[in-house]
Structure 1
Amino acid sequence: MEVATVTDKIVVEMRDQISSAIKTYEEEHSESGVTLRRMLALSSFSVMHQDISILAENLLVSLVVLPFHKYQASDGNMIEAQSKLRYVNRKVLQYAPCSVGILVDRGFGVTNKISRSSIFLNAAVIFIGGKDDREALAYASHVALHPGVKLTVIRFLLDTNAIAKSTRLGTCKISLPEQEEEMKLDDEFFADFYERHVGGHVAYVEKYLANSAETMSALQSLEGKYGLIIVGRGGG
């Protein structure tokens, strides 16, 4: 058996940071049976998505988290760190046997431990509609269980006074019956979430918007307000 060792300084530092964060979580939640298992696999970019998907299936993984292919520089601009990571992410999103999350690190610093006695992290989840947003809301509900996290749920709704061709803010191309069914599922799912979680450390905000331009403006207005924002991949 050939033994492989990673020597790249950036990779080693990133791996150690991730391991430290997971180890801290493991220690805090030892009673819940959370365990840490670190594995090293060497793959070429062309087949990396296959290795990730096979590993996820073999281990019965429910969520794969991947790094975004860009990082934020000191001037605020997003710089492409590794173009091939974008290819890997797209392929994993396409073929993974489970949910996939893309982590966009905006350089707000590394937190080793979130206080359980006071609010340490302000998080938000954006809900426009669709299965991806429903899943994002489901994951956000788990985040909200931590006593050191304050979660704000921001639901974007169509301004009924505005003239719009669509009954939804999304740009997905689905038939009207499918759209109505999705909206019904959204309302039922959101009502259940609201009843279970809103109150205390979970706040709820509605924003009525007329079009995609207003949606973009509303998203930009959130900059700097939250340490973590959870969003679904699309509106369909």
Structure 2
Amino acid sequence: MKKYAANYTKRNIFDLRRNAELRVLTCIHRPDNIPSTINLLEASYPTKDEPLCAYVLQLIELIGRASPVFICHQLHKSSNNSMAEKLVDAFQNFEQEFKDALVVNTFTTISPAEMMYDDICTLALNKFTSLIVLPFHKKWSSDGSSVEIEDESLRELNYRVMERAPCSVGILIERAQMTHIFSPETPYMVCLLFVEGKDDREALYFAKRMMKNPHVRLTVVRFLASTKEENPKVKDWQEMLDTKILNDMKSEKVGEACVEYIEKRVKDGPETALVIRSLASEFDLIIVGRQAGIETPQTSGLLQWSEYPELGVLGDLLASTDAAGKASVFVMQQQRTARDA
């Protein structure tokens, strides 16, 4: 863990300089991960002023005694791996859409499942990425009604990366496989659920990048506790910081940005869950901060029912029930540095 986390360099989206290139490492485990990952990156709208560099890593588990292999597809054009060809083609087409604003590099790692986290974290460290995107370990049917695959080795990999990553990490959950066509007629409906804390602020700053996309409609829903705790000095400072950041975003005009801001006062977790259920079916993508193991008045009572701790309470709520409808869900954890250890 020290190899990756014992650094004090801030590699996250919240601390990224204005107009700096965003570097993202996206991990692809199955072919159906490709469209959802491209949707997510396209929503963040690479421009010449705020370019995106995507490192795309195909994950293949090594079976038997063969030696691990790491392939750079820019150096090795020919491949007998049909998924690798599909991956390279899809991301090359994506790169063509955003000329001069997007650079894509594709790789494949073939290694034992228990060591794959090292390939991911090392590549992220060497390429100075601010974000790693991981696929969720469950695969739903095409209409999102039932689970087809549940891969525990992928779930374990996600855990290991979240514990060791040298930058921020997000788990992308896709309920219904579809490729979104970004256009004025079919705007991409994005919702950010905001409670408090640094993971939520990281999620907010990622969502902010979508404000400049003319084909994205962003809704920010902030959950406030209806009752105040006694002597909440630390909470008050956090809340003041959150309020300032949200106010800055509301007042920031980005082109024809369409942002709706909603505040909901809730007394506990079940009430928050009811609000989320009533909203969720309206969106294509829901972004939340992980806030692992942290219980607030707004989420009280949900932690004990949490099935997937790697997603935090709201991510878990959206992944383990039909609460999200067919929306994709992106759960974000801000970089953990040596100061957090």
Distance change in 2, residues 1:18/1:188 (3 Å): farther
* 8 Å contact from structure 2 (residues 189, 216) kept in 1: yes
Matches within 5 A, 1:65-144: 65-73=133-141, 74=143, 76-78=145-147, 80-111=149-180, 113-115=181-183, 117-144=184-211
Task: Provide TM-score, normalisation by structure 1.
Answer: 0.80
Distance change in 2, residues 1:58/1:143 (3 Å): same
* 8 Å contact from structure 1 (residues 159, 208) kept in 2: yes
1:29-67 deviations in Å (ceiling 9; x for gaps): 2132x1111101112111111111011000111111000
Secondary structure of the residue aligned to 1:35 is strand
Q: What residue identity is the alignment partner of 1:87?
A: E
Task: Provide TM-score, normalisation by structure 2.
Answer: 0.57
* 8 Å contact from structure 2 (residues 199, 290) kept in 1: yes
Q: What residue identity is the alignment partner of 2:115?
A: V
Distance change in 2, residues 1:3/1:26 (3 Å): closer
* 8 Å contact from structure 2 (residues 213, 257) kept in 1: no
RMSD (CA atoms): 2.9
* 8 Å contact from structure 1 (residues 119, 147) kept in 2: no
Distance change in 2, residues 1:17/1:218 (3 Å): farther
1:27 shift after superposition: 2.3
Q: How far apart, in 1, do the equivalents of 2:290 and 2:253 lie? A: 23
Distance change in 2, residues 1:55/1:90 (3 Å): same
Distance change in 2, residues 1:3/1:131 (3 Å): closer
Higher strand share: 2
5+ residue gaps in structure 2? 1-66, 72-78, 295-341
1:174-221 deviations in Å (ceiling 9; x for gaps): x94332222122112111111115984111111111101101111222
Secondary structure of the residue aligned to 2:238 is helix
Question: Which range moved further: 128-137 or 75-84?
Answer: 75-84
Question: Which range moved further: 95-104 or 119-128?
Answer: 119-128
Distance change in 2, residues 1:78/1:223 (3 Å): farther
1:177 aligned residue (217, 233, 258): 233
| 2:116 paired with 1:60 | no
Question: Which range moved further: 204-213 or 79-88?
Answer: 79-88
What is the match of residue 282 of structure 2?
Answer: 225
Distance change in 2, residues 1:188/1:223 (3 Å): closer
What is the match of residue 170 of structure 1?
Answer: none
Secondary structure of the residue aligned to 1:102 is strand
1:150 shift after superposition: 0.7
* 8 Å contact from structure 2 (residues 223, 265) kept in 1: yes
Secondary structure of the residue aligned to 1:203 is strand
Q: How far apart, in 2, do the equivalents of 1:153 and 1:86 lie? A: 29
Aligned residues: 217
Q: What residue identity is the alignment partner of 1:220?
A: R
1:145 shift after superposition: 1.4
